[in-house]
Amino acid sequence: MHANLPNTYQYIIAGGGMAGLSLAFYLNQSTLKNQSILIIDREIKSANDHTWCFWEQGRGTFEEIIYRQWNGLWFYGHQDFAQFLAIEEYAYKMLRGEDFYQFVIPLLKQNPNITFLQADVLAIKSENNVAEVQTNQGLFMAEQWVFDSVSVSKFNQPNYHNMLQHFKGWVIESDKPSFQPAQPTLFDFRIEQQNECRFVYVLPHSETKALIEFTIFSDNLLKDEDYDVQLKQYIREVLKIESYRIEEVEKGVIPMSDEPQLISPMPKVMRIGTAGGYVKASTGYSFQRTQRFLQRLVKDLEQPQNLKTLGNFGTSTWKALLDSVLLNVMLHKRMPADEIFTSLFKHNRPADVLKFLDEDTSFWQDIALMQSVPSIPFMLGAKGVLLSKLY
């Protein structure tokens, strides 16, 4: 037992990363802010370990700590398609991990009902309707819920579509002005595709500083130095920058999977964040979905009559099918991904594509959007998905 801490709380949040801290943030703004909450993470969160980007209409929850935002994005696609796309009602926003932690954690620490514990979570169990978290600092019990963002699935079940979005990015400072601060690049497919989906994005901080990230959607990772080779080559050959310093490095792997996640694997335990399947399967984006899902979760927690459907706010069957088909087309290489994304952004209003990726479009808008991509690969993809569900 941890010497200085009580062993029972109303809520325990296992993993105080993006989802865990966001949940605590919304609980702290709700009528539940007087409940005792324990947040357990193995790290003291302060490093700039993530750069979260997302699109949003109007001002959002974390507006005051948004680092940069843009109202248009460069797209360099298939067959020399190159266009600066106005995203109209949306802004593409960048939030740095360190700013998020420095904003949220001190705010939560002002609430005497919220306790932080730096510890390794070893196991999460539920016995006699009490959920327990076993850590290397002792055992803690939750009377209401344990919210678990540490038990991430392996995403390797057969009969599902499991891809990885893996990337490495550098924040570089160039000797000479090299970037247009108002003009980020969302997709640059002008790199060797190697029969995968490969692109670079460039998010400028200033005329001399930008985050440049080399990204792949595939089912296998590269060696660390291979990402570096690609970054160096892009900076030299596409951006034509000769002299620069690497100021920060970001690396990550995000599951892109249609494998269903067990939201509540045992009584009084609910998975959230990547562990709860919050990542949008076909894009790997999850920051905004996590905010939306957790705001709703806290509203439902405030209303005990909603407890039956608690946590079940995922994707509709139709939207999940669209994700699976896109994953199937990419995994089985039915059509090069640069051609798919080029078709989508070339033939539709860019803001509608963002709305579609956010699952905010109607069935008929989805059908209209799908008509802008070649039908045969997607029909084969749909057939592949249906067959995988049958066998």
Ligand X SMILES: Cc1cc2nc3c(=O)[nH]c(=O)nc-3n(C[C@H](O)[C@H](O)[C@H](O)COP(=O)(O)OP(=O)(O)OC[C@H]3O[C@@H](n4cnc5c(N)ncnc54)[C@H](O)[C@@H]3O)c2cc1C
Minimum CB separation of residue 135 from ligand X in Å reads: 7
Non-local (6+) Cβ contacts of 117 within 8 A are: 2, 5, 38, 39, 40, 41, 135, 137, 140
What is the side-by-side order of every strand in the sheet holding 68-70?
51-56, 91-96, 68-70
Residue corresponding to tokens 């400028």: 204
C-alpha–C-alpha distance, residues 68 and 94, integer Å: 5
C-alpha–C-alpha distance, residues 18 and 273, integer Å: 8
Minimum CB separation of residue 226 from ligand X in Å reads: 17
CB-wise, 78 or 259, nearer to ligand X?
259
Minimum CB separation of residue 56 from ligand X in Å reads: 11
User: Residue 123 is encoded by which pair of tokens?
Assistant: 């196991």
C-alpha–C-alpha distance, residues 273 and 293, integer Å: 9
Minimum CB separation of residue 246 from ligand X in Å reads: 16
How far CA 353 is from CA of 82, 343, 344, in Å, comes to 17, 11, 7
Residue 90: count of CB within 10 angstroms of its CB: 22
> In whole angstroms, how large is the CA radius of gyration of the chain?
22
Per DSSP, the chain holds a count of helices (H) and strands (E) of 9, 17
Is-contact 108 21, C-beta < 8 A? yes
CB-wise, 37 or 385, nearer to ligand X?
37
Residue 247: count of CB within 10 angstroms of its CB: 12
The amino acid sitting at 379 is M
Supply the DSSP string of 212-231, one letter for each residue.
EEEEEEESSPPPHHHHHHHH
Give the CB-nearest residue to ligand X: 17
CB-wise, 16 or 184, nearer to ligand X?
16
CB-wise, 48 or 388, nearer to ligand X?
48
Minimum CB separation of residue 276 from ligand X in Å reads: 8
CB-wise, 18 or 329, nearer to ligand X?
18
CB-wise, 19 or 73, nearer to ligand X?
19
Minimum CB separation of residue 70 from ligand X in Å reads: 14
Binding stretches for ligand X (CB under 6 A): 15-20, 40-43, 45, 50-54, 120-121, 149-150, 250, 252, 254, 273-274, 285-287
Minimum CB separation of residue 386 from ligand X in Å reads: 29
CB-wise, 52 or 170, nearer to ligand X?
52
